[in-house]
Structure 1
Amino acid sequence: MKDLIIVESPTKARTIIKYIGDNYKAIASMGHIKDLPEDSLGIDIEKGFAPKYVVISGKRKTIQEIKELSQKTKDLFLATDPDREGEAIAWHISSELKKKPYRLILHEITKEAIKDALSHPTEIDKNKVDAQQARRLLDRLVGYKISPILGQKVQKGLSAGRVQSVALRLIVERENEIEAHIPEEYWTITAKLKKDDEEFEAVLEKYLGKKLKIKTKNEADEIISKIDDSFIVERIESKEKKKQPPPPFITSKLQQEANQRLSFPAKKTMFIAQGLYEGIDVGKEGPIGLITYMRTDSVRVSDSAISEIRSYIKEVFGDKYLPPTKRVYKNKNIAQDAHEAIRPTFPLHLPSDIKKYLSNEQYKLYDLITRRFIASQMQDARILTTKVELKNKDYTFVASGKVILFDGFIKVYPVDEKEKILPTLKVSENVFLVELIPKQHFTQPPPRYTEGSLVKALEENGIGRPSTYATIISTLMDRKYIEKKEEKLYPTGLGRLVWELLLENFPKLFEVKFTAEMEDDLDKIEEGKEDWKDVLTLFYEPFSRMIDDAKKHMRNVKKEKEKETDIVCEKCGGKMIIKEGRYGKFLA
């Protein structure tokens, strides 16, 4: 009689069975099997926010198959993903079974990890389930209560979300800042100088020892007229600085770097990473889970993985690239330490060795993850910076130089450290002017968000969790609240209108700070420090009052846009009105 392992996806099932052989059978639930109903709130508020879960359409056959197989097996293991969503899936599956299942926690899908998990099975983490349930109920309450009001007052098909609307807020407020920005003119003066046959540049910074601001062309021209051809080196300051490698990836940093370096949207990054985690067929070896679990806030790495990668660094790059002791990175809080960072499960399975088995996008992301992990255990880069102050009458020009003395981790994970070589200079010596270059500039507004910089802003403000960022952005795009042009995120007219109405009617609910505090409450539920029902009760009482007020007082944009015409209605004899619907204007 075989033991049964239940996971979410067929790929993950195949990868697991490859490692543990004939004594086990694996089946995929294909994600969640239960959720709140689509056609009703699905929460009994009067009975302590009791959820009314229903089987998801198309999943009855899957549930029946799991039930039948579970009755024919000795032991039953739930090996869904090791996060809140995975725990909830395991909990819902267990509720359909007569036999009590074991819980397997797999942070990576490798032979060693699977065997270790089977040797140390655990139980479903009810605190984690409660945290997921609280989030789901909060999101349902906000969406189900506010969205119909928007549909009634603006147009059908609109939605609001507890976290998505705060993300919309950031994008709209950034656009408001950009529009409110008044460009201010300023000028810079650069001196192209010469020492023997070597040319270099210095920028005018001070007049009579004080920082100089040049506002107009006339001011720039006046300064240029006073400067002669001879510059004296007044001061030279050289400093050696060390640049430490970044830690291995957590989810948010992976999304940011993949967006910046590979131009991957957050949703694509997570989709590709999911495939790398669940398993890729690499020829004779069969399917291999190439990376650890990709939804994580932790920078912790197992000792065995560190040991293996340090041996690789020593062998390939030499002793000088290896720090004397392993690097240990610290998490922000203890709760995050349950997971590992995102890293290759086989550090010596180099991207170049398996490139032919990967799609171009899979290869790029796996290469990025591998390089980041290798770099995280490499030696610091050493960089020599030089600042030279040159005097011309009462004006001080500054030349800056940069030399990479030792590339360290940069050899594997390039960062923006471009060398700028200065000639050998001595204090009190003269250098000569080749030309003065005045240049007009204007102050710039803050930049629009990219997907990567929005993820960074959400993370820094404690809004949502890394596992939700990709969905937040794609939902805002699907709702036509934002659009992407040349990788920049712009709010649409509809998005700005929706946010304006939400701000007028729900100012507290969509505050950045309030949303971050709710995330902290969810973390406390997972840690067993808060009761999920208490959190929902404290949230719902003021929220229900906001809903009642919004129903009465929210602007009726639909009516504001209605226009009476001279066209007579054939049925009632009254004048017809131009109205706006989801698909444009129509007569009614």
Structure 2
Amino acid sequence: MSKNLVIVESPAKAKTIEKFLGKDFRVESSFGHISDLPSRELGVDVEGDFKPKYEVSKDKRDVVKKLKDLAKKAEIVWLASDEDREGEAIAWHLAEVLNLEKSKTKRIVFHEITKSAIERAVANPRSIDYHLVDAQQARRVLDRIVGYELSPVLWRKVKGGLSAGRVQSVAVRLIVEREREIKEFNPVASFRVDAEFSTSDGKRFKAKLPKNFTSRQEAEDFLDIVLSADFSVSNLEKKPVKKSPAPPFTTSTLQQEAARKLGFSVSRTMSNAQRLYEAGLITYMRTDSVNLSDEARNGAQVAITNNYGDVYSNPRNYKGKSKGAQEAHEAIRPTNFENQSVNAERDQARLYELIWKRAIASQMSEASLERTNVKIAINGDRPVAQNFVANGEVITFDGFLKVYLEGTDTEEEEQSGLLPDLSVNDALDSVFISATERFTRPPARYTEASLVKKLEELGIGRPSTYAPTISTIQNRNYIEKGTVDGTERHYIQLLAEGGSVKESTLTERVGSDKGKLVPTDIGMIVTDFLVNNFESILDYNFTARVEENFDDIADGKEDWRSMMKDFYKGFHPQVEDVKENAERESGERVLGVDPVSGRQVSVRLGRFGPMVQIGTVDEEEKPQFASLSPDQQLSSITFEEAMDLFKLPKSLGHYKEDEVEVNNGRYGPYVRYGKKFVSLPKGVDPLGVDLDDAIVYIKEKEKADAPIYSYQGLDVTKGKGRFGPFIKWNNLFINVNKKYDWDNLSESDIVTLIEDKIQKEKEKLIHDWPEAGIRIEKARWGRHNIIKGKQKVELPKTVDVSEMTLEQAIAELDKAAPKKKTTRKKATKKKN
């Protein structure tokens, strides 16, 4: 038995650490937190000292039992969870639940999983930092209270099944307010003037007027003047400038840059960064520090000198601007700068390369540039107040730009290039001069990256909270990723060329929300209700102050229970008041009056989602209802669009003796043919579909569903699902990856796909008891499932299934089976 038991929170981390420790060490995983607040009750003593009621969750009981047994036999237990507040709380819970003796328990932390870092940690253990534990408890308890008390208010006043959260609700508010700014925005047109000039030796370059014209008439008058004008260089300035590299990544800047350059969502970035960290390839990925250790700067200097030469090396350190940044921590960087790339999955390899480039560039020399500014005079019969301006930029020494340039969230202007050799008073010829109509733009919708940036600027949340916050508000359907490519808009261009002015009409695409964060109706309604009734909780400054309180608790400057008491004594009475006295919120808008019945037409949030309603509940005749389509919103639907919804379902006729109708459903418009449903293509208006159109869609669906092959006497069909294209055979769904030509699958392709799937299914099978209809299969993440009919039970990773018997499998199934609820009917007496 090993003398030392090391407990980490992740199996992958355990596997990496095990390589660096000797035979006297055994490394085990707690699989994250082993205890938490109960799921079915508040679990906090709000009447007393706010003591949390922690309990070991069912899926962790086997883990706890195993760790307890190992801890009893070990001489020393090393708690090696992550070095942040969450990791400190995990270490504390382990010490408490496993009943570890202080004399045989040591806490170690490291910001990278390398041999030297692990050895240093073991040589310098410490005790559990209870200030960090208290900070984590304060966050957990406060967020539990806010969510647990606000959510029932939403159920009563808005709609059942809703929930609220301290940080999540503020993030939704940002997105809702931005959407309303966009809706209220009125674009203003102006005319931008661009030109192209040529020198006496025929070299061309571009220039522009620094100020736009506010009207078409002004633009036309200007072009009339320049048609007969001459042009010359009136002023020329050259000045050297330096460009400095960006600091190495923090959690939020990594999330932003991975979104810009790799197209990663925040959760995708953090998932891959976690795996790189656990494999010992990068330092800890939850940090708000831009510092690099001396060891890291030295390693970067050696790599830069070896790869690019001494002149490119410029070791430096950075100071973070983030409030509460923990400067003792390090920025995110490679653990070994000699490795420019790693042998890992594609996403991990791409993210690693981004981290390597950013960290290396931060230690490289500044780039030297020469910036040229040229003013071009307009010499004609009529004076002109403005000059054309041309800018050029030449890199005289690339420095860090040899490796990396930081991206931006906004659409960048075309980069200035090299200008020809010019001198003051040089005559120039105009190749063309154009006046193009441009429109002011509304504020941009948030992307995941720009939302993270805004939350950080406001001091809301911390590095570990951004990814779960954005995932949560999407999962709750408060926001969604936009899918609209935008609409076409016409604009005018006036072109002065060849002695005359020509007019042309061009088009551009505007209003795209593809990939942007767009609030849903329910997101807007919940936000309005919370802002109207709990303004302090939704206040940006309040949320930021709470984060500062957590920081003070972590530093030992504030008592977490006192903070909770101060918060709760104002919060709870407000909740009770709103619960009793606030009006219901449904987002109702009255659109007009039905011309046929004379009844009110309105839209509001109903039990099953947004809907339009003719009539009111106060009238004798029952109201009529129709659901909004997925691309319609309560805040913007028109009276005409709302009335059109009552034309559905619409009968179109018959096809092959079955009735055909078109309708709008929960997942969008569709054609029903007998008992079959055919979704309409995106953007197709169901009211514009006639019988001929419907028959085309039906035939396309029949063709898509028709067997494409027969294997072992069973049909093979193809389709496209949530995870991409697939073929279906014998109730097996088989994904078709990109190496196959999906539209032209050959017989050999189909046979290969099926046989590979059959082989994988065989490899998954651990035990099979056909007589009992029970089998055990491999599942994801090294776990196993026991399957009987439609019942599937996932076993904890700690359960050894290699020698499990049928009786044991049945016992596991019985243990997981839902318990039958017994109910008692209360006797009621009728009163006369």
Same fold (TM over 0.5): yes
Q: 1:469 aligns with which of 463, 466, 471?
A: 466
Report the CA distance between 1:307 and its aligned residue: 0.7
CA distance in 1, matches of 2:567, 2:265: 33
8 Å CA contact 2:213, 2:219 repeated in 1:
yes
Report what 1:209 is aligned to: none
Report what 2:302 is aligned to: 311
Q: 2:578 aligns with which of 525, 550, 554?
A: 550
Report what 1:499 is aligned to: 527
Report the CA distance between 1:578 and its aligned residue: 7.7
For residues 290-335 of structure 1, what are the alpha-carbon distances to aligned partners after superposition, in whole Å with 9 as ceiling and x for unaligned? Answer: 0110000111111111111101111110122112xx2011134676
Q: Secondary structure at the match of 2:375?
A: strand
8 Å CA contact 1:458, 1:464 repeated in 2:
yes
Report what 1:380 is aligned to: 366
Q: Equivalences for 1:439-518 in 2 at 5 Å? A: 439-485=436-482, 486-518=514-546
For residues 173-206 of structure 1, what are the alpha-carbon distances to aligned partners after superposition, in whole Å with 9 as ceiling and x for unaligned? Answer: 111111111100100111211102111121123x
Report the CA distance between 1:153 and its aligned residue: 1.8
CA 1:579 to 1:226, structure 2 compared with 1: closer, same or farther past 3 Å?
closer
8 Å CA contact 2:525, 2:585 repeated in 1:
no
CA distance in 2, matches of 1:110, 1:576: 68
For residues 255-310 of structure 1, what are the alpha-carbon distances to aligned partners after superposition, in whole Å with 9 as ceiling and x for unaligned? Answer: 0000111010101111111111111xxxxxxxxx1011000011111111111110
Q: 2:553 aligns with which of 509, 514, 525?
A: 525
CA distance in 2, matches of 1:217, 1:295: 53
Residue type of the alignment partner of 2:430: L
CA distance in 2, matches of 1:215, 1:576: 51
Q: Equivalences for 1:320-335 in 2 at 5 Å? A: 320-323=311-314, 326-332=315-321
1:158 aligns with 2:157: no
Report what 2:224 is aligned to: 225
CA distance in 1, matches of 2:89, 2:33: 8
**What's the % identity of the aligned pairs?**
46
Q: Secondary structure at the match of 2:389?
A: strand
Report the CA distance between 1:350 and its aligned residue: 2.4
Report what 1:38 is aligned to: 39
Q: Equivalences for 1:271-286 in 2 at 5 Å? A: 271-279=271-279
5+ long unaligned stretches in structure 2: 408-413, 483-513, 589-603, 607-612, 628-664, 667-832
Relative to structure 2, which stretch is displaced further, 96-105 or 143-152?
Answer: 96-105
**Superposed CA RMSD:** 2.2
Report what 2:202 is aligned to: 197
Equivalent pairs, count: 555
CA 1:429 to 1:271, structure 2 compared with 1: closer, same or farther past 3 Å?
same
CA distance in 2, matches of 1:74, 1:235: 81
8 Å CA contact 1:191, 1:201 repeated in 2:
yes
Relative to structure 2, which stretch is displaced further, 195-204 or 65-74?
Answer: 195-204
1:169 aligns with 2:169: no
CA distance in 2, matches of 1:566, 1:47: 48
Specify which structure has the bigger relative contact order, considering alpha-carbon pairs within 8 angstroms and separated by 6 or more residues: 1
8 Å CA contact 2:324, 2:551 repeated in 1:
no
CA 1:18 to 1:246, structure 2 compared with 1: closer, same or farther past 3 Å?
same
Q: Under a length normalisation based on structure 1, what TM-score does the superposition of the two structures give?
A: 0.91
CA distance in 1, matches of 2:10, 2:528: 41
Report the CA distance between 1:419 and its aligned residue: 4.6
Residue type of the alignment partner of 1:264: F
Q: Secondary structure at the match of 1:20?
A: coil
8 Å CA contact 2:198, 2:205 repeated in 1:
yes
Report what 1:396 is aligned to: 387
5+ long unaligned stretches in structure 1: 206-211, 280-288, 568-573
CA distance in 2, matches of 1:380, 1:494: 49
Q: Equivalences for 1:18-167 in 2 at 5 Å? A: 18-96=19-97, 97-100=99-102, 101-167=105-171
Report the CA distance between 1:418 and its aligned residue: 3.8
Relative to structure 2, which stretch is displaced further, 444-453 or 333-342?
Answer: 333-342
CA distance in 2, matches of 1:334, 1:187: 46
Report the CA distance between 1:559 and its aligned residue: 11
Q: Under a length normalisation based on structure 2, what TM-score does the superposition of the two structures give?
A: 0.65
CA distance in 2, matches of 1:441, 1:565: 45
Q: Equivalences for 1:554-569 in 2 at 5 Å? A: 554-557=582-585
Report what 2:751 is aligned to: none
Q: Secondary structure at the match of 2:568?
A: helix
Q: Is the helix fraction higher in 1 or 2?
A: 1
Q: Equivalences for 1:326-365 in 2 at 5 Å? A: 326-332=315-321, 336-351=326-341, 354-355=342-343, 358-365=344-351
Q: Secondary structure at the match of 2:23?
A: helix
CA distance in 1, matches of 2:42, 2:516: 36
8 Å CA contact 1:233, 1:388 repeated in 2:
yes
CA distance in 2, matches of 1:95, 1:105: 19
For residues 205-255 of structure 1, what are the alpha-carbon distances to aligned partners after superposition, in whole Å with 9 as ceiling and x for unaligned? Answer: 3xxxxxx44112221011111123411211112221111111111100000
Q: Secondary structure at the match of 2:59?
A: coil
For residues 149-169 of structure 1, what are the alpha-carbon distances to aligned partners after superposition, in whole Å with 9 as ceiling and x for unaligned? Answer: 111222222111100111111
8 Å CA contact 1:501, 1:554 repeated in 2:
no
